[in-house]
Chain A
Amino acid sequence: GEDVEQSLFLSVREGDSSVINCTYTDSSSTYLYWYKQEPGAGLQLLTYIFSNMDMKQDQRLTVLLNKKDKHLSLRIADTQTGDSAIYFCAERRSGTYKYIFGTGTRLKVLA
């Protein structure tokens, strides 16, 4: 289908790892992104991965990409209460300026 799918909600305890999953639609998408949005704010670019990579690590964030299954994940190590937000994955369609956003996952971190 046309939608980039994410699970709606994830709840974790402070200090645990969080894994947010995304299934995207276009196998030709060259860049895949993760954004964080806090209430009432714009989207903050967290990290991205190029389609010829399987994994990218950036401090507490690890992105895994499975191109065959069109599956993207974001792992947040040592999750903190400040990580509570909505997380969007996004794909940029090859040859265009169109960024297609996932449905968003609300992460709640319990103290």
Chain B
Amino acid sequence: DTEVTQTPKHLVMGMTNKKSLKCEQHMGHRAMYWYKQKAKKPPELMFVYSYEKLSINESVPSRFSPECPNSSLLNLHLHALQPEDSALYLCASSTHRGGRPYEQYFGPGTRLTVT
């Protein structure tokens, strides 16, 4: 089973709202990722957690706040977003081989619209 689940599937929020995106995997993967994908573009890396510690933050604005409560869960907390933050947000997790990430599996994404 190579399933990564994400909730919600769709989210519409105003610029003053606070919301959270959730991601879950039960494959024992120790690295988890958030990506942002705009239409007709490749995914852009936002954050990486390795062994529940934040290892990469790609200079993401502080209105996006990641959290990794345990090895199976990854959250992305959203606050005071802008309309240009509307995108597909993808979660992924990866296997390890020799201490290095190996196969990366994606969830179905959350389609976020900021009004």
Contacts and interface: CB of A to CB of B under 8 A. Distances in A.
Given A97-B50, A98-B56, A45 B104 contact: yes
B76 interface: no
B: contact size bracket: 20 to 34
A44 interface: yes
Nearest to A92: B101
A9 to B, nearest CB: 11
B103 A42 contact: no
B32 to A, nearest CB: 10
Interface string A84-105: 0000100010011111011110
Contacts of A43: 43, 90, 92, 106
A23 to B, nearest CB: 14
A67 B92 CA distance: 27
Contacts, number: 54
Given A97-B48, A101-B42, A30 B100 contact: yes
A70 B100 CA distance: 22
Task: Report which residue of B31, B42, B104, B109 has the largest number of chain A beta carbons within 10 angstroms of its beta carbon.
Answer: B42
A44 B106 contact: yes
B107 A88 contact: no
A102 B42 CA distance: 7
Given A30-B100, A97-B56, A42 B41 contact: no
Contact of A41 (B4, B31, B55, B109): B109
Contacts of A48: 103
Given A30-B100, A33-B104, A48-B103, A42 B90 contact: yes
Interface of B: 2, 4, 6, 31, 33, 40-43, 45, 48, 50, 55-56, 90, 92, 94, 100-109, 111
Given A42-B90, A42-B106, A98-B45, 6 more contacts: A30-B100, A48-B103, A99-B101, A99-B104, A103-B42, A104-B42
